[in-house]
Amino acid sequence: SFFMVQDFYKQKALALEYKKTLNWQITQAQIANEKNKILQERLSKDESKDELEEELKTQIDIYSKILNISDLKRSFYQNPSYQKAMNLATQYYENKDYEKSIFWSLKANDIDRKNSDSWVLFAKAKQALGKDEEAK
């Protein structure tokens, strides 16, 4: 029964952390959406169309990455797998969020210790943070 209570609190803490992350992602998506609206208004006024279109594409890419990470996390927590953890680690690495990339690389390694890809990504993220000694 102690372990059930302990497990309950772990799950609750995990759910709260996930909720915080989702709220942050929703806020970021709303901000990106507002920026897109402003850019579209400027675009309709015919101000240097090429620059604005490029900026709009960048904002849309950021918006889709935010949602993609959210979907990946949800999928991982519903059914954990090495590949899902590596996808998250890779996404965070590409977004230059190296700490989270390290976290998900370690999660992937916990699931499959024989696959070295997680260690390679872990080392790259450590190196990107300037922690060359830890990367070795």
Read off the pLDDT of residues 79-92 as tens digits, 9 standing for 90 and up.
Answer: 999 999 999 999 89
Q: What is the pLDDT of residue 79?
A: 92
Please state the pTM of the whole predicted model. 0.53
> Confidence band (pLDDT; 50, 70, 90) for 133?
confident
Q: The dihedral of CA 97, 99, 87, 18: what is its sign?
A: negative
C-alpha–C-alpha distance, residues 5 and 8, integer Å: 5
Q: How far out from the chain centre does Cα 103 lie?
A: 11
> Confidence band (pLDDT; 50, 70, 90) for 93?
very high
71: tokens are 């979907």
Q: How far out from the chain centre does Cα 92 lie?
A: 5
Asked whether residue 129 carries a pLDDT value surpassing 80, the answer given is yes
Which has the higher per-residue pLDDT, 104 or 39? 104
Q: What is the pLDDT of residue 7?
A: 85
Backbone angles phi, psi at 20, to 5 degrees: -60, -45
C-alpha–C-alpha distance, residues 96 and 118, integer Å: 17
> Confidence band (pLDDT; 50, 70, 90) for 18?
confident
Q: Give the pLDDT confidence of 46-76 residue by residue, as tens digits.
A: 656 667 677 777 766 665 666 578 888 888 9
38: tokens are 């402003």
What are the start-end ranges of the H helices in 45-81? 49-78
Report angle CA 28, 74, 96 to the nearest 5 degrees: 50
Work out the average pLDDT over 8-22.
88
Asked whether residue 102 carries a pLDDT value surpassing 60, the answer given is yes
